Structure 1
Amino acid sequence: MMSLINEYLSFFDGSPFLYTLAALALLIAISWILNFIVKKILLRLVRRALKLSPIPEVGGNLIDKVIARLSNIVPATVFTHGIAWVPHLPEKVAYIVRAVAASFIILTLAMALSGVLNIVETLYNQRPIAASRPIKGYIQLLKLGIYLIAGILIIATLIDKSPIILLSGLGAMAAVLMLVFQDTLLSLVASIQISANGLVKVGDWIEVPNLNADGTVIDIALHTVKVRNFDRTITTFPTRRLITDPFKNWRGMQESGGRRIKRAIYIDQTSIHFLTEQERESLRDMPLLRDYLDAKEKEIAEWNSRFDDGKSGFPIRRRLTNVGTFRAYVERFLHNHPDIAKNDTILVRQMDPGPTGLPIEIYCYTTTTDWNEYEAIMSDIFDHLYSILHEFGLFAYQQPSGRDFGKIRMSAAEDVGHVAVMDDSIAENRRSAQNDR
C-alpha cells in the first residue's frame, strides 16, 4: 500500500504545480463526499424523528433547511484544517483560504440560528394566542442581533484581530448607530407597546386616515405593518405610526357580535300634518300601531280636557300627527325585527330640520357583524320604511330633478290651455251679448 502511495507521489516530483492542484482536488473531493454523507444521514435521522413528533409539516420543511445549512460546515471545516497539508501552497493563500472558510462557518451558523428562529415562529403561530400576541417583531430583532454579531466575528476573522477590539470601538460609534438604527429602535418600542397592550393584531380591521389605510391587518413585523384595503391594494407603513398617529380598530365591533345602523330618512316637511279621523282608522289596521293609537288618543283626550273649557275661541288642543305616528311605527317595527339586537340601544329620533327636510334618524344594532348580512338587513329595513311612508301621508324629500321640472312645465301648459279656453268662452259670450242688443 505504501509503495503505491510512494509511486503515486513520485509522479509529481518533477511538477510541484500539478502536485498542488492534485492535493486541492483531493481536498475538494473529500469535502464534497463528507458533506453529502453528513447531509443524508442527518436528514434521514431528523425525518424519522419528525414522524414521531407533533411538529407540523411546515416546521419539518424548515428543519430540513437548517440541517442542509449545518451540513455545509463540514466542507468548510475540512478546508480550514486540510489546507495546511496542501504542498507548495503559499502561506498567504493558505491564510486567506482558512480565513474565508472560518468566515463561511460563522455565516452558516448565523443562517442556521436564523432558521431555528423561523421554526420557533412557525410553531408559535400554530397556537391560538399568536393572533393577539405576535412575536414576529421580536424574532426579527433577534435575527438582527445574530447577524450583527456574526458580522463582527467575520470581520475580526478576516483581519486576524480580536473581536473585543472591534467591540471596544463601538462605544465611539454609538451616536452613529443610534442615527442609523433610529427607525429600528422606534419600531421596536412600538412593537412592544402594541403587543403588550393588545392594540392591533393580525386579522383586525383598522382605519388609519393619515395613511389612507382602511382594511385588514395581514402582517405586523418589526419595521412595517401591512394592511390589505377593501379595494385589494396593500398599504405598508412603519410600525411606529400606530403609536404616533390616530387610528380606529373595529375589533370591538366584531367581538361584540353586532354592528350599528345609524341612518336617517329625510321627510318632506310640507307633507307633515295632523291625522284625520279616516287616516287614524286606516292606521289602526296595522297591528303594530293599535296599542299605540289607543294609548295616545287616551293621553291626548285627558290633556285636552284640562285646557279646553269651551270658552276660548281658539282652544289649546293636541292632536295626533302623521310624523309622530310614523316614528312610533318605526320603533315598534325595529323591536319586532328578528335581525335587530333587542339588548342594545334602539332609538328613533327626530333631528334638527334643514334644507333637505326633517331627518328621522334610526339608531340600532344588528345581530351580525358580517358585512354582506349587515348591508342586506339595513337595506331591507329602509326598503320597507320608504315604501310605507305614503300610508302615513308622508313623502321623502328629494331635490328637484329634470323629471320634476318636466311635470311643472306640463302643469303650466295645461293651466295656460285652460286660461285660453276660458278667454275664448268669455269672448264668445261678449259677442253673443252684442248681437242680442
Structure 2
Amino acid sequence: MNTIKHWLYDYLMSVGCSENLAKYLNMLALLLALLIVVFIVDFITRKLLLGAFNRFAAASKSNFDDLMVKNKVSRNIAHIIPLLIALEFIRDVFIDFPTFENIVEKGLQVFAIILTLWIVRSLLNTLKDYFKTLPRLKDKPIDSYIQVFMIFAWLAGFMSAIAIITGIPFLTFATGLGAISAVIILVFKDTIMGFVASIQVSINDMVRIGDWITFEKYGADGDVTEITLATVKVQNFDKTITTIPTYALISESFKNWRGMTSSGGRRIKRALFIKQEGVKYLAETDVNKLKSIQLITSYLESRQKDISTYNTSNKIDKTLLLNGRNLTNIGVFRKYIDLYLKQHSAINKDMMIMARQLAPTTQGIPIEIYAFSSDKRWENYEYIMSDIFDHLMAALPYFDLEIFELPSSSSFKS
C-alpha cells in the first residue's frame, strides 16, 4: 500500500528531484486522483439513486415519494458515499503532511454536518409539503413547526461544527453555552416569540390558512396565505401582500371573518337616514292609498281594524289624528322593509331579519336593515345589498318620506 502512496515520490527521487518537491508533487497527484474518484462516484451514485427514486415514485400511488424527489432528498443522500470515500482516503493523501491532514479532515467533518442538515431540511420540506396536502392539516401552520425543527437542527449543527474545529468535546461546548444563554435569547427573541405565538395560534385555533382577517394596524384585509414562525402573510383584496408578525396575533386585536364564512349567511347592516319633517300620522285616506301596495295590504287591513276597534271602544275623538292609536308612515315603511326582506330570495330566512329605528341624529332618523344574505361571496353580497337598498330608496316616496342629504349648490337655485 505504501508503494502506491509513494509511487510518484519514489519516481521523482530516482530522477534526482529534491525531497520536499517530491513530497508536494506526490501529495498533489494523490489529491487529484482522490478528487477524480470522488466526483466519478458522486456522479454515478446520483444517477443510480435518482433513477431508482424516479422509477419508484412513478410506480407508487402516494405523492410522498414525488415530493421527496421534488425536494432533492435522493440527490442529497447520494453525496454520502463520496464523502465517506474522501474521509477514508484523506489520510493517505496527506500522509507526509499531518498538519494539512488535520485541517482537511476537520473540513470534511464540518461538511458532513452540513450535508446532514441538507438531508434533514429536504426531509422536513417533504413532510411540510405532504402535510399540506392532507385536508385535516391544510389550514394548520405547518411552516412554523418545520422552522422550529430546523432552528434546533441548525443550532445543533453549528455547535457540533464549532466543537470539531476547536477540538472541544461536544458536551463540554454545549455546557459552556449556558453561560451565554441570555445573549442567545436576546438574539433569537423574535424567533422565540414567534414560536410561542404560533403554538398558541394553533392550539386556540385563532387563525387558519384561508381565513379572511382584518388587522387595521397593519393595513391587512384579506385571506391568510401562509403562517410561519416569524410572520403571517395576508393577501389583501387588492392583491397586495401584507406581512404581520406572528406574535401580533396574540398580543393585539384583529378580526377573523371565519365565523361569517362558516355560518349560513353574510350580515347586511346598513341604515337609511329619513328626513324627520316627513314623519306623520296616516289618515284613513292615506292608509287606503297604501293598501294598493300588495306586500302590506293584509297588514294594513289587520292593523286598521285593530286600531279602529280600540279607538271606538275607548270613545277616542278622531277629529284630531293625534288622539288614540294611529299608524305612521315611517312605522308602515318599517313593516314594509321587514316583509320585503322576508320574501327576498337572496336573504337567509333562518337567520335574523330586522328593520329597526335608531336614535334620531342631525342627519335624520336612521332606519337600519339587519339581515343576512345567503350568498357570502363578496361580489354577490354587494350586489344583493345594493339591490335591496335601490328598491327601498325608490319606495320611500310612496310613503311620503325622503332620504336626508346635505344641501348642494343646486338646492339654492330658484
TM-score, length basis structure 1: 0.87
2:114 is aligned to: 107
Q: Is the CA contact 2:212–2:221 (under 8 Å) kept in the aligned structure 1?
A: yes
Displacement of 1:228: 1.7
1:96 is aligned to: 103
The structure with more radius of gyration: 1
Bigger CA drift: 216-225 or 373-382?
216-225
2:379 is aligned to: 372
Partners of 2:371 and 2:139 in 1: how far apart? 29
The structure 2 residue matched to 1:397, chosen from 382, 388, 404, is 404
1:211 is aligned to: 218
Q: Is the CA contact 2:68–2:122 (under 8 Å) kept in the aligned structure 1?
A: no
Partners of 2:160 and 2:241 in 1: how far apart? 39
Partners of 2:315 and 2:253 in 1: how far apart? 59
Counterpart mapping for 1:252-331 below 5 A: 252-308=259-315, 316-331=323-338
Task: Sort the Cα spacing of 1:6 and 1:81 in 2 relative to 1 into closer, same or farther, 3 A.
Answer: closer
Partners of 1:247 and 1:260 in 2: how far apart? 18
What SS does the aligned partner of 1:265 have?
Answer: strand
1:74 is aligned to: 81
1:61 is aligned to: 69
Counterpart mapping for 1:131-210 below 5 A: 131-210=138-217
Q: Is the CA contact 1:210–1:245 (under 8 Å) kept in the aligned structure 2?
A: no
What SS does the aligned partner of 1:301 have?
Answer: helix
Q: 1:352 and 2:382 equivalent?
A: no
1:25 is aligned to: 32
The structure 2 residue matched to 1:118, chosen from 111, 120, 125, is 125
Residues 25-49 of structure 1 show CA distances to partners (whole Å, capped at 9, x for unaligned) of 1111111111111111111111122
Bigger CA drift: 176-185 or 325-334?
176-185
Percent identity, please: 36
What SS does the aligned partner of 1:274 have?
Answer: coil
Residues 165-224 of structure 1 show CA distances to partners (whole Å, capped at 9, x for unaligned) of 201102212222222222222221211111112110111111222332222111111111
Displacement of 1:87: 5.9
Task: Sort the Cα spacing of 1:284 and 1:9 in 2 relative to 1 into closer, same or farther, 3 A.
Answer: same
The structure 2 residue matched to 1:341, chosen from 342, 345, 348, is 348
Partners of 1:84 and 1:54 in 2: how far apart? 46
Displacement of 1:313: 8.9
Q: Is the CA contact 2:5–2:93 (under 8 Å) kept in the aligned structure 1?
A: no
Q: Is the CA contact 1:217–1:226 (under 8 Å) kept in the aligned structure 2?
A: yes
Q: Is the CA contact 1:307–1:316 (under 8 Å) kept in the aligned structure 2?
A: no
Partners of 2:8 and 2:272 in 1: how far apart? 102
Displacement of 1:119: 0.6
Bigger CA drift: 143-152 or 185-194?
185-194
1:423 is aligned to: none
2:50 is aligned to: 43
Task: Sort the Cα spacing of 1:400 and 1:172 in 2 relative to 1 into closer, same or farther, 3 A.
Answer: same
Partners of 1:68 and 1:280 in 2: how far apart? 85
Q: 1:225 and 2:232 equivalent?
A: yes
What SS does the aligned partner of 1:170 have?
Answer: helix
Task: Sort the Cα spacing of 1:235 and 1:312 in 2 relative to 1 into closer, same or farther, 3 A.
Answer: closer
Superposed CA RMSD: 2.4
Q: Is the CA contact 1:261–1:364 (under 8 Å) kept in the aligned structure 2?
A: yes
Q: Is the CA contact 2:53–2:69 (under 8 Å) kept in the aligned structure 1?
A: no
Q: 1:385 and 2:392 equivalent?
A: yes
Partners of 1:21 and 1:324 in 2: how far apart? 101
Displacement of 1:106: 1.1
**Count of residues in Structure 1 that have an aligned counterpart in Structure 2:** 404
Bigger CA drift: 210-219 or 14-23?
14-23
Task: Sort the Cα spacing of 1:310 and 1:92 in 2 relative to 1 into closer, same or farther, 3 A.
Answer: closer
Q: Is the CA contact 1:62–1:115 (under 8 Å) kept in the aligned structure 2?
A: no
What SS does the aligned partner of 2:223 have?
Answer: strand
Partners of 1:312 and 1:333 in 2: how far apart? 33
What SS does the aligned partner of 1:183 have?
Answer: helix
Partners of 2:8 and 2:57 in 1: how far apart? 47
Which amino acid counterpart does residue 70 of structure 2 have in structure 1?
L
Displacement of 1:104: 0.4
TM-score, length basis structure 2: 0.91
Partners of 1:311 and 1:206 in 2: how far apart? 57
1:12 is aligned to: 12
Unmatched runs of 5 consecutive residues or more in structure 2:
none
Displacement of 1:18: 2.8
What SS does the aligned partner of 2:224 have?
Answer: strand
Displacement of 1:11: 4.2
Q: Is the CA contact 2:113–2:157 (under 8 Å) kept in the aligned structure 1?
A: yes
Task: Sort the Cα spacing of 1:252 and 1:318 in 2 relative to 1 into closer, same or farther, 3 A.
Answer: same
Partners of 1:77 and 1:92 in 2: how far apart? 21
Bigger CA drift: 218-227 or 82-91?
82-91
Partners of 1:322 and 1:163 in 2: how far apart? 87
Task: Sort the Cα spacing of 1:173 and 1:54 in 2 relative to 1 into closer, same or farther, 3 A.
Answer: farther
Partners of 2:264 and 2:47 in 1: how far apart? 53
The structure 2 residue matched to 1:250, chosen from 232, 245, 257, is 257
Displacement of 1:62: 3.0
Partners of 2:5 and 2:162 in 1: how far apart? 41
Q: Is the CA contact 1:266–1:357 (under 8 Å) kept in the aligned structure 2?
A: yes
What SS does the aligned partner of 2:234 have?
Answer: strand
Unmatched runs of 5 consecutive residues or more in structure 1:
411-437
Which amino acid counterpart does residue 381 of structure 2 have in structure 1?
Y
Residues 127-160 of structure 1 show CA distances to partners (whole Å, capped at 9, x for unaligned) of 0112333322111111111111111111111222
Which amino acid counterpart does residue 279 of structure 2 have in structure 1?
I
Residues 246-289 of structure 1 show CA distances to partners (whole Å, capped at 9, x for unaligned) of 11110000000311111111111222223344433332122211
Partners of 2:129 and 2:141 in 1: how far apart? 11
Task: Sort the Cα spacing of 1:6 and 1:279 in 2 relative to 1 into closer, same or farther, 3 A.
Answer: closer
Task: Sort the Cα spacing of 1:9 and 1:212 in 2 relative to 1 into closer, same or farther, 3 A.
Answer: same
Displacement of 1:122: 0.8
